[in-house]
Amino acid sequence: MSVSKGPLEIALEAEAPIDLADRIIDALRYRIGKDRQAARPHDWLAATVLTVRDRVIDKWMASTRNAHASGAKRVYYLSLEFLIGRLLRDALSNLGVMEEVRAALSSLDVDLEIIREIEPDAALGNGGLGRLAACFMESLASLDLPAYGYGIRYVNGMFRQRIDDGWQVELPETWLEYGNPWEFERRESAYHVGFGGEVIADEAALAKWVPGEQVIAMAVDTPVVGYGGKRVNTLRLWNAHAIDPIRLDAFNAGDHIGALAGKNRAESLTRVLYPADSSSAGQELRLRQEYFFSSASLQDILRRHIQYFGDIRTLPDKAAIQLNDTHPAVSVAEMMRLLIDVHNLGFEEAWKITVATFGYTNHTLLPEALESWPLALFERLLPRHTQLIYAINANVLKAARKVRPDDDAFVAAISLIDERGDRRVRMANLAFAGSHSVNGVAALHTQLMKETVFADLNTLYPNRINNKTNGITPRRWLQQCNPRLTSLIREAIGDSFLARAENLTDLDAFASDAAFQEKFAAVKRHNKVDLSEYLRRTLGIKTDPDAMFDVQIKRIHEYKRQLLNILETVALYNQIRLHPERDWTPRVKIFAGKAASSYHRAKQIIKLANDVARRINADPAVGSLLKVAFIPNYNVSLAELIVPAADLSEQISTAGLEASGTGNMKFALNGALTIGTLDGANIEIRDRVGDDNIFIFGMTADQVAARRAEGYDPAAAINASPELAQALANIGSGVFAPDDPARYTDLVHDLFHSDWFMVAADFDAYERTQRRIDKVFQHSAIWTEKAVHNTANMGWFSSDRTIQQYAADIWGMI
Ligand code: 26V
């Protein structure tokens, strides 16, 4: 397999800008219905997208035809989230037509940058899991692997976050407000998806499911352009429709609302993306979404297989289906139903095909995120699947008893049904039993999977668990978001690194070259000026681009320990006021991230960050030595602005809890140094960039576990740390909340009395490391040398490498 084609080799017929401009004008006139005078910026965006899209279509069709003609195996990535962000820059860049389109627009007096900025973010995901799916789709196309992503076309994706008086306010995301010129509705690709009803036996005594309710899943396709424009794959998102859009009898009888109830009920299936929190776990609509998209996707996959290959028995040779976490795990039961009830296979044969086809990726060990459904709910919604799960479970339990005949706890832990309390279906166990491969997303995470949540399943199926450390696409996360750094690297080592990121190691030779360091530092400064300007414009916060930009951007969650960072900020603030004469390194602390709507503590942490920011930014005693900014509405586009401007990347989760992290990779690739715990992929980042080029602190996962086991006493840890105690006293007594001094009483109380995430235990080590970092930052040549080593050694974290490993080890494709 080769991905060596660079943009210069792209076989796209270049058009004169004037022709391209004509085409854009044509699109504006004939597809949008406006002329130049009437066109608004959104019309120009749509006309440009439609014109670019035309160029994609031939390649798209050719990609499908080739896969068909060669009988190639296809990979299907099933994910409830695809956090793809904006698509225009990605498509222009991967097609190699950025400058051509810029020139054409410019000849029409339209600024590409302006229309690019108004493209809405496709925010169809919560965070890392969704963004990973988007990076994987890009890498699959870039590596010329035939692939389909399957998911849901949420009308309202991730909520828009506004900060009102420091508090998070959630507003609906209306990304489809102006339509979506990237997508193609495929009205012919529609499937019925059933819910409820009953299972009866037909004349041949075969089970037959008669659903009580049915909806239509209709495909909406978005092209995914690979690097160099060689292959275009499909992201197929499902839209729910009612079978009867209106009940005319009810309507004619005057019941206008009741007439539309069925339509509303069906369409509500694809209305909202659930936030990643425990309160949404267990909600019926969420299970309906999971089944809806699993069923539609599998029907589509089996239909395609039969159409091309004729024989359902060859499915595992021609299709690999990857389950992105347990969200699509009901697919295992749906596959069994389709093979047995529709394709008339026997149970054993169907099971062999199922296991050979599926792979399952786990993305978190947090107990509250491990999905399970009340058996009663499951049975009411999916009676046939419940029967099949019982049948699968009977076999699994038999196998478990054979391995450990007298170990009831072992058998109970493996069971697909949790028999404690209300009986529940365990989706992770179902996914595990139904897949030939179960992977974690970083080495430590995979190790912990084997030792903790999946220890028993790992004993029963000893070779199933494997590791596939996450990656990020260097096209979006270097070439597109950081064009300045990309040009500099290109000047130094050529542009092969965009297709072969491991070639970035050639940069190591420049790390101690003073002239190169200067240019590298100038790029960083330039990017910081851009971010600084954004902070001034949007938040009215003035920042010095020569200060250290210290950044923590990610979902707000206690395990990610934004609180540790805020506490250190307060401690630093106290120290600066106490010792103004010291040689402080000016810092800008930058936070961004969304809290799940029902996660009270996470929202309180956002408010605290904002309260602390307000006080510190207004205090002349610290002036420009310390500034704090909480940037609202974190999303992919904001990350593309912030990541290239960061000096320091905060990756400070309680060890053992961050499965991998991918933000950590984006920052290091763009020349930020990491302060981090030995958690997730931080460990592997350290292994590659070298101990001297990363700041590691705090307890290891083993130490965290041991400390917990011996009985951790947070109050003792706090009392042993005067700076932490002082910071907590300030926060607890309302120094940062004069309008409501009791606002953080409970937060501080919980730290003293439980501190599950061990903020206090790691505080001193974190604080000391920050002060060491201050010193290093003052030696800009040393700092930059380390930064270059980071960029040079992050190539391994390309999602191309990750996808190649999936393709070779799990999917049997290369
Ligand atoms: C859980 C739930 C539970 C209830 C309903 C909605 C919902 C949605 C998502 C989740 C799980 C989120 C898991 C996740 O995002 N994990 C992240 O995956 C990244 C990619 O592998 C990884 O880098 C992060 O460390 C990990 O936190």
The answer to whether residue 528 is catalytic is: no
* Per-residue model confidence as pLDDT tens digits over 175-211: 999 999 999 999 999 999 999 999 999 888 889 999 9
The answer to whether residue 662 is catalytic is: yes
What pLDDT score was predicted for residue 17? Answer: 67
> Using the 8-state DSSP alphabet, how is residue 156 labeled?
B
**Concatenated DSSP letters of 649-717:** EEE-PPTT--S--SHHHHHHHTTPEEEE-S-TTHHHHHHHH-GGGSEE-S--HHHHHHHHHH---HHHH
What pLDDT score was predicted for residue 6? Answer: 41
Q: Burial letters for 494-510: b for 16+ Cβ neighbours within 10 Å, e otherwise?
A: ebbbbbbbebbbbbeeb
Rama region for 802: left / alpha / beta (φ>0; ψ in -120 to 50; rest):
alpha
What pLDDT score was predicted for residue 14? Answer: 59
Q: Can you tell me whether residue 36 is helix, strand or coil?
A: coil
What's the residue count for the chain?
814
Q: Compute the distance between CA of residue 473 and CA of residue 372 in angstroms, rounded to an integer.
A: 32
Write the residue with the smallest CA distance to atom 9 of ligand 1: 276
* Per-residue model confidence as pLDDT tens digits over 597-613: 999 999 999 999 999 99
Q: Compute the distance between CA of residue 706 and CA of residue 756 in angstroms, rounded to an integer.
A: 13
Which residue out of 386, 469, 486, 662 is catalytically annotated? 662
Tokens of 179: 């339509």
* Per-residue model confidence as pLDDT tens digits over 25-55: 999 999 999 999 999 999 999 999 999 999 9
Residues 463-470 have a mean pLDDT of: 98
The CATH T-level fold of domain 474-797 is Rossmann fold (3.40.50)
Residue 408's Cβ-count burial label (10 Å; 0-12, 13-18, 19+) is: exposed
The answer to whether residue 666 is catalytic is: yes
Q: How many CB atoms lie within 10 A of CB 61?
A: 11
Q: Which residues contact 288 (CB under 8 A, 6 or more apart)?
A: 195, 269, 381
Residues 608-633 have a mean pLDDT of: 98
**Concatenated DSSP letters of 470-523:** --B-HIIIIIIT-HHHHHHHHHHH-SGGGT-GGGGGGGGGGTT-HHHHHHHHHH
| Nearest ligand 1 atom to alpha carbon 131 | 20
Q: Can you tell me whether residue 10 is helix, strand or coil?
A: coil
Q: Which residues contact 629 (CB under 8 A, 6 or more apart)?
A: 535, 539, 541, 543, 588, 589, 590, 591, 613
Write the residue with the smallest CA distance to atom 4 of ligand 1: 281
Residue to probe by mutation, ligand 1, list 82, 124, 129, most atoms within 8 Å of CB: 129
- Which residue is it, tokens 């749906």? 334
State the pLDDT confidence band at 11, using cuts at 50, 70 and 90.
very low
Residue 428 Cβ < 6 Å to ligand 1:
no
Residues 520-541 have a mean pLDDT of: 98
Residue 744 Cβ < 6 Å to ligand 1:
no
- Which residue is it, tokens 């159409």? 307
R_g over Cα of the chain: 27
Tokens of 135: 């990076």
What pLDDT score was predicted for residue 3? Answer: 41
Q: How far is the CA of 493 from the centre of ligand 1 (A)?
A: 37
Q: Can you tell me whether residue 334 is helix, strand or coil?
A: helix
Phi, psi of 84 (to 5 degrees): -85, -15
The answer to whether residue 554 is catalytic is: yes
Write the residue with the smallest CA distance to atom 20 of ligand 1: 129
Residues 670-689 have a mean pLDDT of: 98
> Using the 8-state DSSP alphabet, how is residue 596 labeled?
-
Q: In what order do the strands lie in the sheet with 626-631?
A: 626-631, 587-592, 548-553, 648-651, 673-676, 695-696
* Per-residue model confidence as pLDDT tens digits over 471-511: 999 999 999 999 999 999 999 999 999 999 999 999 999 99
Residue 802 Cβ < 6 Å to ligand 1:
no
Q: Compute the distance between CA of residue 757 and CA of residue 555 in angstroms, rounded to an integer.
A: 16
Q: How far is the CA of 604 from the centre of ligand 1 (A)?
A: 21
Q: How far is the CA of 806 from the centre of ligand 1 (A)?
A: 19
Q: Can you tell me whether residue 744 is helix, strand or coil?
A: coil
311: amino acid identity, one letter? D
Q: Burial letters for 345-380: b for 16+ Cβ neighbours within 10 Å, e otherwise?
A: beeeebbebbbebbbbbbbbbeeebbbbbbbebbbe
Do the Cβ atoms of 265 and 358 come closer than 8 Å?
Answer: no
* Per-residue model confidence as pLDDT tens digits over 76-134: 999 999 999 999 999 999 999 999 999 999 999 999 999 999 999 999 999 999 999 99
In 3D space, the residue among 557, 537, 544 whose CA is nearest the CA of residue 364 turns out to be 557
Residue 252's Cβ-count burial label (10 Å; 0-12, 13-18, 19+) is: exposed
Q: Compute the distance between CA of residue 127 and CA of residue 158 in angstroms, rounded to an integer.
A: 9
State the helix-helix crossing angle for 759-778 and 780-793, rounded to 10 degrees.
110
Residue 797's Cβ-count burial label (10 Å; 0-12, 13-18, 19+) is: buried
- Which residue is it, tokens 């190691």? 505
Q: Compute the distance between CA of residue 797 and CA of residue 266 in angstroms, rounded to an integer.
A: 41
What pLDDT score was predicted for residue 1? Answer: 38
Q: How far is CA 65 from CA 72, 233, 240, in A?
A: 11, 11, 28
> Using the 8-state DSSP alphabet, how is residue 110 labeled?
-
Residue 13 pLDDT > 60, yes or no?
A: no
Residue 290 Cβ < 6 Å to ligand 1:
no
Rama region for 535: left / alpha / beta (φ>0; ψ in -120 to 50; rest):
alpha
Residue 298 Cβ < 6 Å to ligand 1:
no
